Structures are given as structure tokens and as C-alpha cells.
Structure 1
Amino acid sequence: MNKWYLEHNPDDDIAVSTRIRLARNLRAYPFENRMTPEQKKKLLSDVKTLLQNASLKEKMELGFIELEKLTPEQNFSLVEKHLISPAFSQNPKNAGLALSPDESIAVMINEEDHIRIQTLSSGLNLKQTLQAANRIDDILDASLLYAFDEKLGYLTQCPTNLGTGLRASVMLHLPALEANGVIGRISQMVSKLGLTIRGTYGEGTRVNGAFYQLSNQVTLGISEEGAIENLRAIASQIIAQERASRSAELGDYMEDKVWRAYGVLSSARLLTNDEFIELVSILRMGVSQGILKGISYGEINALINTTGPATIMAQEGRAMEAGERDKLRAAIVRERLYSLNEN
């Protein structure tokens, strides 16, 4: 089965991915920070059984992963692929993950909240991604008693998630706006509209390769539909600004920059992860501007999702020094670009 990031969806020249996350807690248990290990173990077992049964009844494939059984490399590879949060990876005891084969559905159990339902898709695809999350939510809601208040909505450990419990985000590739120095101004603007711009891996993380997360901040006093429509409208405006900025930069300098990046990626024998991300960011812009032919956004997404430091080590099944990873990363990228050129 193809991974979600290989699919083509609207605006995927700028919008790399769409993510929906629903935070849910069960009335029968205290919040995570007050739960005993025995309670966490029982919650994990109950939700795992429910999801396994649902997989059979709903014809929905979901594998199950117990985080404490993973190697450190396998664990952090899930973070690199945006399937779990960094905080979740650091607390693997009694933590579980239900994951679909295409990795578009990830249900975290015993995260900051009892259950966090996450769905992913490529491009700017908020409505469909929310529908996928709501399908999982409905399955769980039919058998579990959620902690819900008529006035406050879904109760969550962090008060900022009260209400819908919804965090919707769009990963935007904004190299032209970043180069023009306007990201700070855009960030101030969107904050007045109930949104926030974060780093590549979310709150408190740095930006790599001009990949920014745009997400909602307001969860109380607004419907799920209202929240994602607000996000869609603002994301569309930023996408239009990025496209206009890219068009203004077209010329010999941009073409030279793109081909230089392609040259390094297709011939380098050592590639650090940071260097790779910066170069593949340029490559992605070259594809969007028609400078590079025969390479899809899905194929670039696949390169990014399979060459993170932990992911390389997880695929190899062993810990590796940085230099060895850099050598293998360069070989993977060379081989993939060569095969695309052959086709």
C-alpha cells in the first residue's frame, strides 16, 4: 500500500501535508499526570482491544506498536515521520500506537491525553483529513465514555485544548517568503486570527528547509468545521503569497541554484541531514517552478520521510555513527534520483 505522502492533492506544490489531531480522555480515569502505572496499563489494553475489533468490523487495517518494545532508533523514527510527538517518544512505558499501513492514521494511547487520534494527508486537504479522524473518533465514542462537559466540551489535560480538542495543521514550504524576510510579519498577522506558525516538528522546534507548521490555537467556542475553514482560508492566502514570491524570483539565478542543488544531491558521497533538507527544499521549489521535470512532490516527500537519522538506523536495524549515516543517506538519494532520471 502506498504511503499517504505519495498521493497527489490540491496545492501540494506549497502545502506538503495536512494533519488533524483530536485529544480525548475517558471519564473513568484521571488525567495522565495523575494515573498509576496499573491504570495506564489497563487503559492501553482496553483501547488496543477496541481498535483491533474495530479493524475487523470496519475493514480498517490498524497495526499496534508498544513503544517500550521499540529500539531508540525505531522510536525516534516515528517522530521524524511526524507520526508521534517528541514528548510521547520520551515516555514509552505503557504507551501504545495504532498505525495504518499507509501511515495516514495514528492513534496514540497514554500520550498527554488518554487518546490522541491523528490523521495525515498530502496537500491542503483539511475536510477529508478531518472526516478520517472523525471516523476513528466515532468508533471509539460508541464504546468508550469520553470526559465531556456541556459548557466546556471535551475535557483535556492541557486547558488550551478544551472544547473541540482539535489541533489542525498544514505543513507549508515557504522558501521564497522566508528569503524575503516576511515570515515574522505573517506570524504576527495569523496570531490575531487564532492561528500560529511553528517549527518543522511543532511548538518549540526549529525550522528546517523553510518547512513551517501553520495550526489553529483556538479550540473553545468554535466548531471543528469553523476551525478548519479558518485555517484553510489563511493557508490559501499564504500559499498565494508564496507562489507570487517564487514567480518574482524566476530567472538564471534561480535556475542555477536549483541545478546546483540537484547536482550535489545526485553526486554527493556524504550528506548530513541538515544539508540534505536544505538542498531538497531547493529541489522541491525547482519542481514547482517547472525547472526540474520527472520528479513528483510525492517522491520528494518519500526521500524526506526515509532519510532521517533515526529512520536510517531503524531501517538498518542498528545504531550508526553520524558519518556512516551521512554516507548511506547520500547513497540512498543518489540511487533514487538516478532511478527517476532513468524513468
Structure 2
Amino acid sequence: MNVDLNELTGRAGEWMKGAGPQSDIVISSRIRLARNIAEFPFIRRCTATDRAAIDKAVRDRLAEVPQLTDLAYMRVDELSDVDRHFLAERQLISRELVEAEGARSVAIDANERLSLMINEEDHLRIQVMKSGFDLVAAWDQINEVDDLLESKLTYAFHDKLGYLTACPTNVGTGMRVSVMLHLPALVITQQIEKVFRSLQKINLAVRGLYGEGSQAMGDFYQISNQITLGRSEIELRNQVHDVVPMIIDYERRARDFLLKQNQQDLHDKISRAYGILRTAQTISSEETMHLLSSVRMGVNLGLIDDLLIADINKLFVDTQPAHLQKLRGGPLDTAGRNSERALYLRRYLSQKEKDGADQN
């Protein structure tokens, strides 16, 4: 199935919906599986011919699985730079796939919950994403998809080691379990580093919005497992699943503390952030993320009633560089993006304020 990327700009992807369990704090739950096809060398040793053959092999096998024939298949190497970054901003492909070389593709479902990346670090990366804290449902879906693909493809597998992957840390299950959380109160109360240290002691990694190598923006953090070898898929899922409720509890307590002890200062911080977003004439992506983080917390705490969480989540994505250029319909340099971003925010927030006034 073909897909018009311009159509995606007008709708919210799975992680932007603001739905699902604990969605005030948990943005999304994601599980990713790394797989390689036995008859080909690892990507780093592949020739251009090998990469093209892998891409064709996966696409041909997908066509043989009735449950997966509705996926939209795109050759990433044939997309423009803006379109590649657009998919990455929606969490549908990784930064690595954006910057890789040679034949490479992605297959996504209409709801943007399932994504299959071909020729990233491994031959195949299967990803399932759910809104909110929903790792059990994510595991159920990805396990089914993996079984369907394994019935058509011969994976590189070792009886003792498990699934063989390009990176040694993925050998075994090839599984990465991650939950994206919004933790502004822990940042404000300076407790976030203590939480990070505790997570590192139990071999959980903390990364930014776009995964490995990315910085935290807008107080978004991804918590994920670091090691897969010697553990089952269920053990890895449960390791992350069991610790996230404690982080949610810490964040809720921090928010309660701020409301009780510093409500005036907190309200001022949130109001200032909202005011800048509504009136700025030029604004960077980094500042926008920072200010939207404060506003998102304000919505959750009932201090702002013009907006929904889904609105804020949408703005987090729509104000990213590639999305802005897709919405504008043409390329923009840095200064142009900063002006366009401010214009988009003013128009969007003004319309929401007007809609709220009309309802009252």
C-alpha cells in the first residue's frame, strides 16, 4: 500500500494522542525487536547488492502474510531529506535509518503503531508503539508480528546465544523495551538525577526523546533495558513494566509538592510559558519544547483549561523542523523555521482560545 506523507501531517500519530493508561505522564510504550536474515551478512559487511536483496526479500515475504499486506511500504533512500526527518520526528523510523546509506525501507500501519525498518543497524527492526503505559498490549502485538515474519524468513539464530544481532548488547532476545515519560516536576524539584542513578543500578538506560544518543528535550525521557542476553522477553518486559509505576508515583508526588508549596511560582512559570508561545514572533525548536513542557504540566494540573493533552502532544511534533516544512509546503532555513514555528503556535493557540470562549 502506498502512503501520502502529506496526509500524515493532518493527523496525530500513536504517541501523540494523549490516550492510554497514565497518559498524563507516560507518553508511549514501545517494544522493538532486532532481527537478521540468516543468508545475508550483517549490514556493516553488506554490499549495495546485498542491501537491495535484503530489502526485496523482506518486501516479498510481507506480501505473503495476509495480516501485514495493508502496511504502507516506503523506500527511505528514495525519500527527500525532509521526508526522512519527518518520519523520524513521528518516531516511525530511527535517526540511524535517516542517515544510513543504500537501499533501506520502512513499512508502517495506518495507525502508526507498527513500524518495520529494513536495513538499519540490523536487517530488520520491528517496532510496536502504544499510547500511554501499555507494555503488555505492545508485547502481545509485536510477538504476533514476529511469529508471522519468522514463518516466512529464516532468522539468524544460535541455540545458546539466541537471536544474533549486529550490536552485542542486543544478542539474545534482540529486544528493547522502552517507555517515554514526561517528568517536568522531577526536573524542577531537582530529583531527576537521583531517579537516573537508581535506574542505572538496575541496568536500565535513560535516553532523550529520540532514543540513543539524543538529549532530553521538553523533559521527555525514555527508560529502557540495556541488556538482553540471558533473559527472556517476559523478564525484560516486566523489568521495565515494574519500575515505571514507581517513577510515575515520584512525578505525581513532585507535582503535588509544587502545588502545595510553590503554587504561585508554579502558576507564574506556566503562565509565562503559555504567554510566550501565544505571542512570540520567532522561536527555536528547543525553546518551544521547553515552554510546551511547562504548559503540558499546567494542563494536567488544571491550571490551563483552553487546551487538551492531545493538543500539546501535537504541538510538540508539529513544531519540529521537518513537520514545519511539510506544513508550509516548502523548504525553510533556520530563521525561516523559527518564524514559521512562532506563526503556527500563535494561530493554533489563538484558535483553541477562541473555541473555548465559544463553548462558554
Q: What is the TM-score normalised by the length of structure 2?
A: 0.90
1:105 aligns with 2:114: yes
1:259 aligns with 2:271: yes
Partner of 1:81: 90
1:334 aligns with 2:346: yes
C-alpha displacement of 1:252 = 1.3
In the aligned structure 2, how far is the partner of 1:331 from the partner of 1:170? 32
1:199 aligns with 2:211: no
* Alpha-carbon spacing, 1:186–1:2, altered in 2? closer, same or farther (3 Å): closer
Aligned amino acid, residue 102 of structure 1:
N
What secondary structure sits across from 1:287 in the alignment?
helix
In the aligned structure 2, how far is the partner of 1:305 from the partner of 1:120? 16
Aligned amino acid, residue 239 of structure 1:
I
C-alpha displacement of 1:263 = 1.6
What secondary structure sits across from 2:332 in the alignment?
coil
Paired residues of 2:62 and 2:68 also in contact (CA < 8 A): no
In the aligned structure 1, how far is the partner of 2:336 from the partner of 2:95? 24
Q: Tell me how many residue pairs correspond in the alignment.
A: 341
**Identity, % of aligned positions:** 37
Partner of 2:46: 35
Paired residues of 1:2 and 1:102 also in contact (CA < 8 A): no
1:123 aligns with 2:135: no
1:16 aligns with 2:27: yes
Aligned amino acid, residue 109 of structure 1:
I
C-alpha displacement of 1:53 = 4.0
1:184 aligns with 2:193: yes
Paired residues of 1:66 and 1:97 also in contact (CA < 8 A): yes
Partner of 1:224: 233
In the aligned structure 1, how far is the partner of 2:331 from the partner of 2:309? 30
In the aligned structure 2, how far is the partner of 1:139 from the partner of 1:235? 30
1:235 aligns with 2:244: yes
What secondary structure sits across from 1:102 in the alignment?
coil
Cα-to-partner distance string for 1:51-84 (whole Å, 9 max, x where unaligned): 2443xx2276311111121111111222222222
C-alpha displacement of 1:319 = 2.0
Matches within 5 A, 1:44-193: 44-54=55-65, 57-58=66-67, 61-193=70-202
Tell me whether 64-73 or 307-316 shows the greater mean CA deviation.
307-316
Once superposed, which parts of structure 1, at least 4 consecutive aligned residues long, lie more than 4 Å away? none
Aligned amino acid, residue 342 of structure 2:
A
Cα-to-partner distance string for 1:186-230 (whole Å, 9 max, x where unaligned): 222112212111122222221112111110112112111111111
Structure 1 residue ranges without an equivalent (≥5): none
In the aligned structure 1, how far is the partner of 2:124 from the partner of 2:40? 12
* Alpha-carbon spacing, 1:132–1:60, altered in 2? closer, same or farther (3 Å): farther
Cα-to-partner distance string for 1:124-170 (whole Å, 9 max, x where unaligned): 11111122222221221111111111211111111100111110111
Tell me whether 167-176 or 57-66 shows the greater mean CA deviation.
57-66
Tell me whether 161-170 or 200-209 shows the greater mean CA deviation.
200-209
Paired residues of 1:266 and 1:337 also in contact (CA < 8 A): yes
In the aligned structure 1, how far is the partner of 2:161 from the partner of 2:306? 51
Cα-to-partner distance string for 1:22-76 (whole Å, 9 max, x where unaligned): 000111111111112111101101211222443xx22763111111211111112
Tell me whether 1-10 or 295-304 shows the greater mean CA deviation.
1-10
Paired residues of 1:107 and 1:117 also in contact (CA < 8 A): yes
Paired residues of 2:13 and 2:90 also in contact (CA < 8 A): no
Cα-to-partner distance string for 1:227-253 (whole Å, 9 max, x where unaligned): 111101111101100110111111111
In the aligned structure 2, how far is the partner of 1:265 from the partner of 1:60? 42
In the aligned structure 2, how far is the partner of 1:128 from the partner of 1:60? 21
Q: What is the TM-score normalised by the length of structure 1?
A: 0.94
Please provide the CA RMSD for this pair: 1.7
Paired residues of 1:67 and 1:93 also in contact (CA < 8 A): no
Structure 2 residue ranges without an equivalent (≥5): 1-10
